[in-house]
Amino acid sequence: MHTETKIIGRYIGKFGELWTQSLTDLVKEGVAGVLADSELDPAEIDAIFVANKAGGSFNEQRHLGALVSEQFAHFPPAMRVEGACASGGLAVIAAEQAIRSGLYQTVLVLGVEKMTDVSSSETSTILATAASRDKEYGSTFPALYAVLANYHIKRYGTTREQLSSVVVKNHHHAMTNPAAQFHKEFTLDQVGSSVMVADPLRLLDCSPITDGVAAVILSSKPSSRKTKLLGFGHAQDTLALQDRQDLGELAATRIAASKALKMAKLRQKDIQAAEVHDCFSIAEILATEDLGFFAKGEAASAIAAGQATYGGQVIINPSGGLKACGHPVGATGVKQVSFLSAMIEAGQIERGLTHNVGGSGATAVVNVLGI
Amino acid sequence: MHTETKIIGRYIGKFGELWTQSLTDLVKEGVAGVLADSELDPAEIDAIFVANKAGGSFNEQRHLGALVSEQFAHFPPAMRVEGACASGGLAVIAAEQAIRSGLYQTVLVLGVEKMTDVSSSETSTILATAASRDKEYGSTFPALYAVLANYHIKRYGTTREQLSSVVVKNHHHAMTNPAAQFHKEFTLDQVGSSVMVADPLRLLDCSPITDGVAAVILSSKPSSRKTKLLGFGHAQDTLALQDRQDLGELAATRIAASKALKMAKLRQKDIQAAEVHDCFSIAEILATEDLGFFAKGEAASAIAAGQATYGGQVIINPSGGLKACGHPVGATGVKQVSFLSAMIEAGQIERGLTHNVGGSGATAVVNVLGI
């Protein structure tokens, strides 16, 4: 009978353009790293869930479950879980469902993406195929999020400076995260004058292309670790923006958060830090509103006023987020859980929330962690 | 508290080269077909698991969970599960784990692959990336299974005529399956004189490239349907053949079968029909040995002697198998479950087993069905 699941191991490899490491190298690093942190005997891993978006296209490897399993002498059963850029968050949910099924006690979740083996143009095309092929063919993600940004600006008066404040904050947070892709601060003016990508989104509004691996071990066995998985939520919306009810929100985020917090028996005010899916500056503004941290239309000014950092209402993206820690797609949702688990184990926070999005909001996953 | 899971809906679309249907068309057909069979209100679907190997590369669609979810007005949570050619069998296991977790009662599993949108050469390359990139780069699957065939021939004296007998049997079985890609019988001589692909495997030893969709609905709710999911097993092995302990078997099949039959509290002799992963003629010989239906080295002669068809020891691949029913990769494992469920509902058998393999045996999944 399942009582509680704890995060008993965690690892985040250095994120960046890892030219000297292959996909297999990243897998090996992630497995070794999370096992070392957990101090488990490898034979205690009962099953494996691998999060990866497009290892087939990026790296010509389309059997990643088996590749991770063969790092173990006892070949634990493994499957890959994919929900576009939300693959990491989904893999954590799939692992928790497997534990709650009673079949497994200790499960490895490994998220990995090696994106720099192809050109930036190819990467952009591969990422864009998480949108609706039938209705948005050829759109890149900056273009889709630019639609959302323009709508938000028009409806709520969101300003260029407020968008920039998200970026400045997240790059500042990344300065103390050794795994982050970027250790470089920017001013509001630098963000606002960076090259235009898809109006109004400029280069520094966009998360980068990143290689990286992150892993956590979930277990229902007794452990001295503090971090429990208190709740999770998973919701969907239409693939295409044109089919949405309201472009002022990502409804799937709102529903996933509601499910996860209900399961955790917590409310937004109980959450001290959140890793949210800031693939673009506007995405963090939408996320913090849709997660319920700020009222609709008020997140941009709250973030600009310092309410989303240390000393404010809630610490948003203490890792630096996708924007400054980097966004190795399949690894991102796993990194979010790993990072907040580290903050909990270190006594910095007692309760945190992760938020991982696939497509332009067609999949949303929220996981709630706490002591 | 989970007591039993039943297959309360099933659908197999026509397999073949479906030039007039897109990936989205196949998804819509599968959803409509399985809902019609189940007579469920669509709102009763609590969650969705999608099996697909390479929709990103075949069809430029890398967010299939969301694509299936948006066919429903209530957008059930959806995730894609991938384990190369074993994706379908794995999705059934993931769905069962989700039901046993207590989170969901009624879950749709949809397997789909639209392979003919790219050239045969590209398809072959995409499929081959389920092998070990580091150790078998450039090998096609016919080449890898040719290694296994040559080993089996050398060690057990397996003959050309015995390999052909698998093909003749499965094409004969497909004659009565309206969904099958091929309705064409072959003689032993025709198989044995077809063009060589990878010695000793000839064209007619190989399963085809296929478009198709299959779906089942699993539910823990009471139902008048008869078919229960009695057990499941999932095991892994090394990606590369060169790392295997013994080329005379697929060890993952043996282990997965042992787990599944133990969970079902059944033995091989209790199974009346099995859908096994005959991606090549030699694969059915290995499968029926490793599943324990025939002793090692004895399957080839048993199949040639009629022990694997109606009136024999066990009916192997009544659908025609991958060989003659066709092999739309992500759909195959779901089709296996759907087909045997239909046989059980029709009273033709009481207990059946499905066997789905990824790569050249790196992933194996066995599901056991029965009344």
- CA distances A132 to A140, A359, B86, B314, Å, are 11, 9, 26, 45
Angstrom distance (rounded) from CA A318 to CA B306: 66
Contact between B370 and B233 under an 8 Å Cβ cutoff? The reply is no
Mean pLDDT (chain A, rounded) = 97
- pLDDT score, position B156: 98
- Contacts of B164 by beta carbon, 8 Å cutoff, 6+ apart: B188, B191, B192, B204, B205, B281
Classify the complex by whether its ipTM is higher than 0.85, answering yes or no. yes
Question: A133 pLDDT band (50/70/90 cuts)?
Answer: confident
Q: Decide if A29 contacts A88 (C-beta within 8 A).
A: no
| pLDDT at B3 (0 to 100) | 76
Which residues in chain A have Cβ-Cβ distances shorter than 8 Å to B53?
62
d(Cα B58, Cα B76) in Å, to the nearest integer? 25
> Which residues in chain B are contacts of A31 at CB distance < 8 A?
none
pLDDT for res B2: 62
* Tokens 């490239």 -> residue: B209
**pLDDT cut 70: percent of chain B above it:** 99
Does the pTM exceed 0.90?
yes
Question: How many residues are recorded in chain A?
Answer: 371
CATH of domain A6-119+210-219: 3.40.47.10
Cα–Cα dist B169/A331, whole Å: 46
pLDDT band of B133, cuts 50, 70, 90:
confident
Q: A2 catalytic, yes or no?
A: no
Interface of A with B in 73-102 (CB under 8 A): 75-84, 90, 93-94, 96-102
Residue B141 distance to chain A (closest CA, Å): 13
Subunit contact B100:A103, Cβ cutoff 8 A: yes
pLDDT tier, A148 (very low <50, low <70, confident <90, very high otherwise)? very high
Active-site residue, from A85, A206, A279, A325: A85
Nearest partner of A93 among B91, B79, B64, judged by Cα: B79
The minimal CB distance from B54 to the residues A56, A235, A238 is found for: A56
Helix, strand, or coil (residue B15): coil
Kindly list the distances between the CA atom of residue A117 and the CA atoms of A18, A21, A210, B46, B84, in Å, as whole numbers in the listed order.
Answer: 9, 10, 11, 38, 21
Q: Are the beta carbons of A220 and A5 closer than 8 angstroms?
A: yes
**Which 8-state DSSP code applies to residue A206?**
B
Whole-angstrom distance, CA of residue A115 vs CA of residue A123: 7
Asked whether B256 and B364 are in contact (CB, 8 A), the reply is yes
Q: How many CB atoms lie within 10 A of CB A222?
A: 10
Residues 221-250 of A with CB under 8 A from B: 234-239, 243
Tokens matching residue A1: 């009978």
- Are residues A243 and B80, on separate chains, in Cβ contact within 8 Å? no
Question: Between residues 19 and 48 of chain B, which touch chain A (CB distance below 8 Å)?
Answer: 22-24
pLDDT above 80 (res A212): yes
> Comparing C-alpha atoms, which of A368, A43, A340 is closest to residue A177?
A340
Per-residue pLDDT band for A1 (boundaries 50, 70, 90) equals low
Residue B26's pLDDT is: 98
Helices B329-345 and B87-100: crossing angle in degrees, nearest 10, is 60
Q: Tell me how far apart the alpha carbons of residues B252 and B263 are, in angstroms, rounded to a whole number.
A: 17
pLDDT tens profile A259-296: 999 999 999 999 999 999 999 999 999 999 999 999 99
Q: What is the mean pLDDT of residues A117-128?
A: 91
B293 falls in which pLDDT band (50, 70, 90)? Answer: very high
pLDDT at B137: 86
Q: Say which DSSP state A16 is in.
A: B
Minimum-distance CB partner of A62 among B79, B81, B129: B129
For residue A93, name the pLDDT band (cuts at 50, 70, 90).
very high
Token match 């066709």: residue? B326
| Total residues found in chain B within this entry | 371
Share of chain B above pLDDT 90, in %: 94
pLDDT per residue as tens digits for the range B228-269: 999 999 999 999 999 999 999 999 999 999 999 999 999 999
Distance CA B129, CA A22 (A): 15
Over residues B271-287, the mean pLDDT reads: 98
State the average pLDDT over residues B81-94: 98
CB contact under 8 A, B62 and A81: no
- Whether A277 is catalytic is no
Provide the β-strand partners of residue B368: B231, B353
* Of the candidates B218, B49, B187, B208, the residue with the CA atom closest to the CA atom of residue B120: B208
Residue A19: band (very low, low, confident or very high) from pLDDT cuts 50, 70, 90: very high
Q: Which residue is closest to B84 within chain A, CA to CA?
A: A63
Dihedrals φ, ψ of A94, to 5°? -60, -40
- pLDDT of amino acid A249: 97
How distant, in Å, are the alpha carbons of A183, B9, B233, B259, B271 from that of B266?
59, 24, 13, 11, 8
Cite the DSSP H helix spans in chain B: 23-38, 55-59, 64-69, 87-100, 120-128, 133-136, 141-156, 160-174, 188-192, 251-264, 281-290, 299-304, 321-324, 329-345
Neighbours of B185 (CB within 10 A): 12
Q: What is the pLDDT of residue B95?
A: 98
Residue A199 to residue A147: CA distance in whole angstroms: 9
In this prediction, residues B148-175 reach a mean pLDDT of 98
- Give the confidence band of A2 by pLDDT, cuts at 50, 70, 90: low
- Contact with chain A for residue B133, Cβ under 8 A: yes
pLDDT tens digit string along B32-81? Answer: 999 999 999 999 999 999 999 999 999 999 999 999 999 999 999 999 99
What are residue B217's DSSP bridge partners? B9, B108
